[in-house]
Amino acid sequence: MKNTMSTLLATLAIVASSTAFAADDHAMHAAGHAGKEKAADMNMQANADMTQGEIKKIDSKNGKVTLKHGEIKNLQMPPMTMVFTAKDKAQLDGLSKGDNVMFSVDKDMNLTHIQKQ
């Protein structure tokens, strides 16, 4: 009887720890999935704020680029040609006059992201 009770208690302890482990594993998986969804949502939002443009002039020394662009929806700005200042001059590396790009700007009209198409 004593042996049976010990076996039963040991079995219950194993089952309880396995259940707790599975719950922790599931919680960690769910948290990782939620993080990926949030990153994807942020990426989709960033892409939604991207605008198509064509580089007309680059002033790498001063971190400025002149873009002929389509509507900048997040700023409710119609298509036009204008000069933007890059938040980081290095963003302009590898770009040339005539390149078609996708870009985003912040509310202060600073270029936050630019990539060749």
Per-residue pLDDT of the chain (117 residues; tens, 9 = 90+): 666 656 655 655 665 555 555 555 555 555 565 666 655 555 444 556 899 999 999 999 999 999 999 999 989 999 999 999 999 999 999 999 999 999 999 999 999 999 999
User: Which DSSP helix (H) or strand (E) runs through 73?
Assistant: none
Q: What distance in Å separates the CA atoms of residue 108 and residue 87, rounded to the nearest whole number? A: 11
- Three-state DSSP state, 67: strand
**Domain holding 84: CATH number?**
2.40.50.320
Q: Residue 86 belongs to what domain range? A: 51-116
Residue 67's contacts (CB-CB under 8 Å, 6 or more residues apart) are 53, 54, 55, 56, 81, 82, 83, 84, 101, 103
Write down the pTM of the prediction. Answer: 0.61
CA contacts within 13 A on the Cβ side of 107: 0
Q: What's the number of domains the chain is made of?
A: 2
44 and 60 belong to one structural domain: no
